Chain A
Amino acid sequence: MTFKRIEFKTKNLLKQTMERYNTRALQAAQEGIPVAWVTAVFPVEILYAMDIFPYYPENFGAAAGTHRRTEELSKIAENEGYSARVCAYTRAGLGLMYGFSDFGKEIPKPDILLPCNIQCACLYKWFEITAKFYNLPLFLLDGPQIDEPSWEVQKQYFIEQLNELIGFLEKTTRKKLNMNRLSEVLELSTEACTLWNKVLASAKTKPARLTYWDACILMGPIVTLRGTKEALNYYSELSKELEERDKGNISAVPGEKIRLYWDHIPIWPRMRFFSELFGFHQAAVVCSLYTHSWAYRFDPERPLESLTENYLREFVNWKFERRVEKKVKLMREYDVDGFIFNLNNSCKPNSLALVEKRNVITEQLNIPGLLLEADMCDLRFFDEGTVKNRVESFLEMVSRQ
C-alpha cells in the first residue's frame, strides 16, 4: 500500500504531554499524591480540583491492544477464570494485575477506585475486582440512562451522588474541595473541549485536514488531562497547526474521494492497517461519535448541576432513537458518503443495536453502511482477509454511488 499518513508537527508536544502525564501517574505515590483510577466518562474535574491524580486504566487497555499484548495478558486473566468474551480492556488490566510483573511500574497502583457506569457495567466490575484484590476503597458513581421524557429524577440522584463522592474523597484523602478551584477547573475543561471540537471540525472541510485515525491518537490529552493547562496548551498548538493545514490546503488523505463515518472505538492493533487501507482508496474517515464524546460545556457558576448535565448526557447514555439522531447529525455535518459500524464483542453498549441502526440510518440518509465484526483489541477475533475484502467492496460500492 502506498498511502502514508501525514505526521503532525505538534507530534512531539503530544508525546511530551502524554509522557509527562504517565510519569506523574507513576511518581504520584512517591510524592504523596493520591491516585484514583477513573473510567473515561467520569467527572474528573472534581479530582483535578482536589489535587487527586486521575488515572484511566482504559488507556492501558487500548495501549495493550495497540502494542498487541492483549492476547498474552488476556490468557493470564482467562487462566484465573475470566472469559475471553468479556471486554478486552478489562482482560488486559486483569491479566496485568494477576501477572503482577508490571503492575505499579507500567501503570500506577490505585489508592482509590472511582468507576462510573455510564459507559458500561464491565469497567466497574474490573474496578471492583481490583479494589478487592488490593483491599482498597471504591466509590461507584451510578449513572442511569436518561431516555425518559423527564430526567429530573435521574439528575437529582446524580447530583446527590456527587455530593456523596466529594464527602468520600475528603474522608479518604483528607483533602478539601475548594469550590472556586472547581470552577476554575471547569473553565479549563470547557476551553479544552471547545478547542478539541475545533480540531475535530477541521475534518469538515473538503478535503479533510485530519482523519478519525489521527483523532484517535490526538485525543489522549482531552481524555486524561481535561481540566488542566497542559491540555489547553496542547490543543491550542494543534489547533494552530490545523489552521496552517487549512491555509496550505493540506489534505489528510491526498486526493480525497470518499468521506466516511466510523462508529466508536477503533480496532487498536490494526489502526495503521485501516488508516492505510482507507487512505489507499482515497477514503477519509472524517468523524465518529467516539472522538466527539469530549464536547463538554460546563457552567462554572453551577458546578455540580453542570457536571451532571454533561456527564449523564453522554451519548452512550441515551436510548436508541436519540443515539441514532446523534450519529445522523454528525454524518450530515461532516457530509459523509457512507459509514462503518463494528460489532465489537468487547463493547455491548456501543454495538448491541448496530445492525438495526445501520438499517435505520441507511434508510434515512440514503447512504450505505458496512458492518464489521472484530474485537477492538484482541486479534483472535479479527480476520484480516475478510475485513479487507469487505472494506474494499464497500468502498467500491460507495464510489459507484
Chain B
Amino acid sequence: MSVKQVIAEIRKELDNFTAVRKWKEETGQKVIGWFPPDVPEELIAAAGALPVGISGFRPETRLAEAHLPRYVCSFMRGSLEMALRGELDFLDGVVFPHACDTKKHIVGLWERNCRFGFVHNLLFPRQLNLPSAQKYYRQEILRFCSALESFTGSKITTEKYQHIVAIYNQNRQLLREILRLQGEKQLLSNEDFYLVVMSSMLMPKTESNFFLTKLLNELTHGKGSQNMVPVVLSGSLVETNGFLKILDNCRLIAVGDDLYTGYRYFCLDVDGEDMLGGLTKRHFNQIPYSGYYSERHQKSEFLASLATERRAAGIIFIHLMFCEQENYEYPEVKQYLDRKNIPSIRIELDYQTQAWGQLSTRLQSFAEMLGVV
C-alpha cells in the first residue's frame, strides 16, 4: 500500500464524519464536540464518550449570518454554520474553552440555536504565572469530570483513564514521528499532513492509531526528496485545503508549527498515573499561545528556536482575520524575528471570503525570497 492509498482511506473516513457516525451507531454512546485549544479529550473518552474536534472551514456561510456580526473569525462563523445546517447532528454535546472573547460570547448562540444536551464552558485560567492558576486549573478539571460523568452516566475510573491515556499518548507519538519525517523526507504534501493531524480529532483514537501506524510504516520506507523549502507556520489553526494547496504549489513545506490543529495538539504526552497532576503539568508546559498570559513562555523565542531546530528557512504567520489575540502579539514577535534574521510573512485568512489568487502571488514571492527555484 502506498502513502497515497493510506491518505485516501483516511479521507474516506472523514468524509461526512463517517468514522464518528459509525462509532456512534456501533457503540450507542455519546459524541461530544470540542473547540480548540487544550480541551483534555482524555477525560471525555474516559467518561465513555467520543471526543470530536469541531473545525468549521466552510467556504460560504448563509445561516450564521443571521446570528453574527461581520467581525467574527471565519473559523467560529463556519462552525456555527455547520451546526445550523445540521451537519453536526451526530453531536450530543459541545465543550467551549474560554480562550478568546469570541468563544466566550458565542456559547449563548449555540445553546439557543443548536440545542445540544450538554454544553460545557471550560473556564481555564488565562494566566499561567501564579500559584493560584494551577490550583484553579485542577478545580476546573474536577468540575469538568463531574459534568461529564453526570452527562454520560459513566464514572471516570483510574483504570479507564489510564487505558485511554495509553492510547492517546501513542496517537501523539505517532503524529510526532510523522512530523519528524516530514522534516527529513517531505513525503506528505502540506495538505495531507494537516489532514492527518485533523483525522486524529475526527475518529476514535484506536482507529486513528491504526491508520497512523500504517502511514508511518509507508513513510519510513518511502524514499524522500528534499526539493521543497522548509518553513514554520504560526497561528491558531489551519484548514486542510485552500491555503495549504497554495503552500504546496509554492513548494514550501511546513516542518513545524504552533497551531492547535498542528503541533500543539500532539506535542505533549500526559502522565496517566496521576490524573490531576499529569493534566496540570501538560497544560502549564504547553507551547506559547496568544490567549494565555505567561511570563515564562514567550512566543517570539519559541518560534525562533523552532525555526532553527527544524532548519526552517522562514516563518509564515497565518492569522485568522478578526482574531485580535494573534494580531496584538504579532508586531513584537515580528521584530524579534527580524533581529534574528529569520524571514517571515504574515497573511490574514478568512476562509469564507479569501482572495486566494492574491494570496498565492504573495506566497510565491516569499518562496522565491527563501530560495525556491
- Chain A residues engaging chain B, CB cutoff 8 angstroms: 80-83, 85-87, 90, 117, 120-122, 124-126, 128-129, 132, 140, 142, 144-145, 147-148, 153-154, 156-157, 160-161, 164, 319-321, 343, 345, 348-349, 351-356, 373
Contact = CB atoms under 8 A, between A and B. Distances in A.
B69 A343 contact: yes
Contact of A125 (B104, B109, B329): B329
A153 B143 contact: yes
A82 to B, nearest CB: 6
B68 A352 contact: yes
Contacts of A145: 98, 104, 121, 123
B100 interface: yes
A160 B132 contact: yes
Contact of A122 (B101, B107, B131): B101
Interface string B130-164: 11110110011001000000000000000000000
A81 B332 CA distance: 9
Interface residues of B, number: 52
A355 B324 contact: no
Contacts of A124: 293
A121 B323 CA distance: 11
Nearest to B298: A132
B121 A348 contact: no
A157 B102 CA distance: 23
B66 interface: yes
Q: Which 10 pairs show the lowest CB-CB distances between chains A and B?
A: A320-B108, A125-B328, A81-B331, A144-B123, A157-B136, A160-B132, A352-B105, A343-B69, A86-B324, A140-B127
Given A343-B69, A345-B70, A164 B332 contact: no
B69 A351 contact: yes
22 contacts: A81-B334, A83-B327, A85-B321, A85-B327, A117-B126, A121-B126, A121-B325, A122-B324, A128-B328, A129-B328, A132-B332, A147-B121, A148-B121, A153-B136, A153-B143, A157-B136, A157-B139, A321-B108, A345-B69, A348-B324, A353-B106, A373-B69
Contacts of A142: 125-127, 133, 293
Contacts of B132: 157, 160-161, 164
Given A121-B101, A352-B68, A352-B72, A320 B112 contact: yes
A320 B111 contact: yes
A86 B322 CA distance: 7
A7 B202 CA distance: 63
Given A142-B126, A142-B133, A145-B123, A356 B67 contact: yes
Greatest chain A CB density within 10 A among B106, B135, B293, B334 is at B293
Contacts of B105: 348-349, 352-353
Contacts of B330: 81-82
Contacts, number: 136
Given A85-B71, A129-B331, 10 more contacts: A82-B328, A82-B330, A121-B325, A126-B328, A153-B136, A156-B136, A157-B132, A320-B107, A349-B104, A356-B67
Interface string B45-74: 000000000000000000000111111100
B260 to A, nearest CB: 16
B204 interface: no
A349 B69 CA distance: 12
B112 to A, nearest CB: 7
B40 interface: no
Contacts of B102: 348, 352
B165 to A, nearest CB: 24
A352 B69 contact: yes
B343 interface: no
A154 B143 CA distance: 11
B125 A144 contact: yes
Contact of B66 (A144, A164, A348, A355): A355
Contacts of A156: 136, 139
Nearest to B112: A356
Contact of B331 (A82, A117, A147, A148): A82
A54 to B, nearest CB: 20
Interface string B86-124: 000000000000101110111111011100000001011
Nearest to B71: A345
B325 A125 contact: yes
A285 to B, nearest CB: 22
A80 B324 contact: no
B131 A164 contact: yes
Contact of B130 (A122, A164, A345, A356): A164
Nearest to B70: A345
Nearest to B138: A153
Contacts of B125: 142, 144, 157
Contacts of B69: 343, 345, 351-352, 354-355, 373
Greatest chain B CB density within 10 A among A157, A164, A319 is at A157
A85 B322 contact: yes
Nearest to A148: B121
A128 B293 CA distance: 9
Contacts of B327: 81-83, 85-86
B111 A125 contact: no
